[in-house]
């Protein structure tokens, strides 16, 4: 999923201070799962903002709406009946959702309430870790299911650098050395030989090097 | 001979080679480079010029290598893939060769986190193995990494690093094999303090006959003090400093620790000389270049052969 | 403000604090009437939004009273509640509010004295802090408008 973390509340307050009627929009997808911008977080943020502005003697009107998906025009359309009432929109979705709203409701300003972080997986309750950088040319099939692009701090494709110690990355003990993990996995699979095959210099075009990426499925287009 | 490199000539002649290094200054004075390099004249066969080591901004290795070349010495251009993409690196390789620099070392480089610009984005367009491949392709096929022909290609003698002490140990011989497969000509190892572990690694290397395919220069660093030894053990990633080394340094008076450090370095060289597959030494006297000649002399590696 | 009587909301677990309150009552142990008890099946049921809403609606202080650590009837509901109280405190801190306005308490069903003591101490603490700032703002609209 796409992971996100709520922005510092003071930053959000700075954004919306000039406005009185706020449309606070959550998203039912990734940000719900990573507890950053789902219905529950929308409620909490609305209440926190009320605490702040009521203390200032300002009665903020906050409309709370959580859409099925903010990155889909079909669902963003559901905001239409509420838009006129709002001076500004505060979105708790990832950057994709914020931009979908911005492109649909051009006359309203939209602010992000979260920082979109990375594509990750849940390691355990309350912990998410980066797993994919969307390089556009997946090599997990030859690296034992562990991605060196996303999980090696230097994106090294041909093995660990000289900085690994106690199986951890040189940047810190909280980061596993991706190549130690790949190596252990290859051993488990009995595929140690694969390690010595050189991975050629990567073509970064599918990774974004050739500019913003797009998928066009003519079979699905209307 | 693949190149005009003095290091290649020495290694091919069967002599033990000696290299050392010179870290460029964090400022513009060329004299700072010259002072350090001058101490190594006639003492070593090649001088590594580090490339923004520990991710701290310094005079570029290219510029400092040119200064050293103009002194009539033999710089070894270090190049890390951290700071530049393949376009910039290949252009620097051509530029360096145009200045007569014919030996280089391909590295990935310390992570930016360790330097004075931790907010910088690491590039890592290539890794060290792919950089080796690139330099070899430029030399042997006369082509850029992207396959276009090079008019007058650079002929670099290609080096790389090996750290026998990093994890996982069992992968370290394979990692060397991979660099050999990519086309590396010589290897400079990480500083060796744990000789037993190094010998074990070399056994793995010779068992596979890898020593026949590459020249291995053993990395030697003299310790200035017990404090430095402790620092390297605890703070430098991938460094293996056994407690005996620290204890030995602590066992002498503070003012004698530096000399004891040099003694350890010399003894290490003597012991490593006996190992099959060791073709030379890379002496990294960190900000202590003036001691390299003493170490080389005491280790019986001087005078350097005229080639 | 001299006759300020704090309004306190206490979310009390059915299996411990709520029963302790009962015991305090039957033993005739005095505790301040400022504390309004909301019975919950487990403090794990208390979410951040409940604490925040209580403050938003004008409570001067809010506390969550659950079983002793390690003794939760539903294994770890009280631990979850503790994390949520901390989570709300962090927001209060960011907003410049006193974090002491919310708290986590632990007690067992038999601790009638402890329940009453906790209620007295917390009420006194909130009395010292003064009213919920929202109420002050509502009482002095003109002063606030000048800010």
Sign, CA torsion A47/A49/A55/A60: negative
Which chain A residues are closer than 8 Å to C52 by Cβ? 44, 47-48, 51
Distances, alpha carbon A72 to alpha carbons A28, A29, A98, A99, A114, in Å: 12, 11, 11, 10, 18
Whether ipTM > 0.95 holds is no
Which chain B residues are closer than 8 Å to A171 by Cβ? 111, 113
pLDDT of residue C10: 98
Q: How far is A97 from chain C (nearest CA, A)?
A: 24
Q: Which residues contact C60 (CB under 8 A, 6 or more apart)?
A: C6, C7, C8, C101, C126, C129, C130, C131, C132, C135
Residue C147 pLDDT more than 50? Answer: no
Cα distance between the two ends of chain C: 21
Chains A and C in direct contact, meaning 3 or more beta-carbon pairs closer than 8 angstroms: yes
Q: How far apart are CA B117 and CA B121, in angstroms?
A: 9
Reported as a pLDDT band with limits 50, 70 and 90, residue C2 is low
Interface test with A, best of B169, B171, B192, B208 (most A CBs within 10 A): B171
Q: How far is A160 from chain B (nearest CA, A)?
A: 8
Q: Which CATH number fits domain C8-145: 3.30.70, 3.40.50, 3.30.1420, 1.10.12?
A: 3.40.50
DSSP bridge partners of B106: B79, B160
A contact chains, 3+ CB pairs < 8 A: B, C
C contact chains, 3+ CB pairs < 8 A: A
- Reduced to 3 states (helix: H, G, I; strand: E, B; else coil), residue A130 is strand
Chains C and B in direct contact, meaning 3 or more beta-carbon pairs closer than 8 angstroms: no
pLDDT of residue A222: 85
Q: What is the pTM of this model?
A: 0.93
Q: How far apart are CA B292 and CA B42, in angstroms?
A: 11
Is the bond preceding residue B303 a cis peptide, omega within 30 degrees?
Answer: yes
Q: How far is B75 from chain A (nearest CA, A)?
A: 23
Q: How far apart are CA C107 and CA A182, in angstroms?
A: 49
Fold for the domain defined by B6-298: TIM Barrel (3.20.20)
The domains found in chain A, sorted by start residue, are 2-117 (3.40.50.2300), 133-200 (no CATH)
Among chain A residues, the shortest Cα distance to B189 is held by A162
pLDDT of residue C48: 98
Domain boundaries, chain B: 6-298
Q: Residues B121, B147: contact at Cβ < 8 Å?
A: no
What does the pLDDT look like over A34-72, one tens digit per residue? 999 999 999 999 999 999 999 999 999 999 999 999 999
Q: How far is C145 from chain A (nearest CA, A)?
A: 7
Q: List, as ranges, residues 25-84 from C with C-beta within 8 Å of A.
A: 47-49, 52-53, 55-56
Residue ranges of chain B with per-residue pLDDT less than 70:
none
């Amino acid at each position: 999923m796409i992971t996100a973390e709520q922005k510092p509340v003071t930053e959000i307050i700075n954004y919306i201070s000039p406005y009185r009627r706020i449309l606070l929009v959550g998203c039912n997808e990734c940000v719900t799962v990573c507890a950053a911008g789902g219905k529950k977080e929308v409620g909490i943020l609305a209440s926190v903002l009320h605490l702040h502005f009521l203390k200032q003697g300002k009665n903020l009107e906050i409309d709370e709406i959580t859409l099925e998906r903010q990155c889909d025009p079909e669902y963003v359309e559901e905001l239409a009946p509420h838009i006129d009432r709002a001076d500004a929109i505060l979105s708790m979705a990832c950057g994709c959702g914020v931009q979908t709203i911005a492109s649909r409701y051009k006359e309203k300003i939209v602010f992000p309430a979260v920082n979109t972080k990375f594509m990750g997986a849940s390691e355990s309750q309350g912990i998410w870790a980066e797993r994919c950088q969307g390089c556009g040319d997946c090599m997990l099939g030859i690296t034992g299911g562990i991605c060196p692009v996303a999980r090696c701090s230097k994106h090294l494709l041909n093995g660990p650098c000289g900085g690994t110690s106690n199986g951890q990355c040189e940047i810190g003990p909280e980061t596993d050395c991706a190549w130690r993990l790949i190596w252990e996995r290859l051993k488990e699979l009995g595929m140690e030989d694969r390690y010595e095959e050189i991975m050629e210099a990567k073509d970064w075009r599918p990774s974004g090097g050739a500019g913003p990426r797009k998928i066009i499925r003519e079979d699905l287009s209307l | 001979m693949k190149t005009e490199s003095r290091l290649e000539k020495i290694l091919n002649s069967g002599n033990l080679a000696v290299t050392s290094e010179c870290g460029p200054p964090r400022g513009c004075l060329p004299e700072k480079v010259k002072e350090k390099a001058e101490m190594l004249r006639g003492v070593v066969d090649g001088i590594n010029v580090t490339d923004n080591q520990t991710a701290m901004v310094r005079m570029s290795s290219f510029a400092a290598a040119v200064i050293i070349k103009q002194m009539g010495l033999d710089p070894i251009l270090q190049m890390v893939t951290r700071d530049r993409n393949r376009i910039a690196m290949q252009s620097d390789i051509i530029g360096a060769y145009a200045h007569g620099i014919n030996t280089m070392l391909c590295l990935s480089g310390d992570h930016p986190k360790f330097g004075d610009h931790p907010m910088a984005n690491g590039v890592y367009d290539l890794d060290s193995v792919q950089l080796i491949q690139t330099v070899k392709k430029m030399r042997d096929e006369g082509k850029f990494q992207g396959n276009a022909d090079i008019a007058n290609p650079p002929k670099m003698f290609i080096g790389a690093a090996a750290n026998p002490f990093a994890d996982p140990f069992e992968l370290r011989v394979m990692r060397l094999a991979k660099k050999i497969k990519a086309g590396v000509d010589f290897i400079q190892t990480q500083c060796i303090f744990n000789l037993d572990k190094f010998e074990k690694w070399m056994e793995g290397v010779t068992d596979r006959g890898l020593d026949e395919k590459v020249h291995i220069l053993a990395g030697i660093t003299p310790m200035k003090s017990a404090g430095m030894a402790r620092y390297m053990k605890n703070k430098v990633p991938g460094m293996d400093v056994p407690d005996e080394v620290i204890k030995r340094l602590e066992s002498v008076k503070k003012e004698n620790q530096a000399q004891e450090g040099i003694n350890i370095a010399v003894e290490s060289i003597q012991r490593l000389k006996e190992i099959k597959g060791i073709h030379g030494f890379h002496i990294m006297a960190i900000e202590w270049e003036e001691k390299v000649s003493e170490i080389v002399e005491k280790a019986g590696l001087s005078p350097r052969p005229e080639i | 403000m001299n006759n300020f009587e704090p309004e306190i909301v206490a979310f009390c677990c059915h299996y411990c604090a709520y029963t302790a309150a009962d015991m305090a009552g039957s033993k005739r142990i005095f505790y301040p009437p400022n504390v309004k008890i909301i019975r919950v099946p487990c403090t794990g049921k208390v979410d951040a939004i409940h604490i925040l809403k209580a403050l938003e609606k004008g409570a001067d202080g809010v506390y969550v009273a659950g079983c002793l650590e390690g003794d939760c009837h539903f294994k770890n509901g009280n631990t979850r509640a503790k994390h949520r109280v901390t989570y709300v405190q962090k927001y209060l801190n960011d907003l410049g509010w006193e974090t002491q306005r919310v708290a986590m308490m632990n007690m067992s069903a038999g601790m009638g004295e402890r329940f009453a003591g906790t209620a007295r101490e917390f009420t006194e603490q909130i009395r010292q802090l003064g009213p919920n700032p929202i109420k002050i703002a509502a009482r002095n609209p003109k002063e606030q408008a000048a800010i």
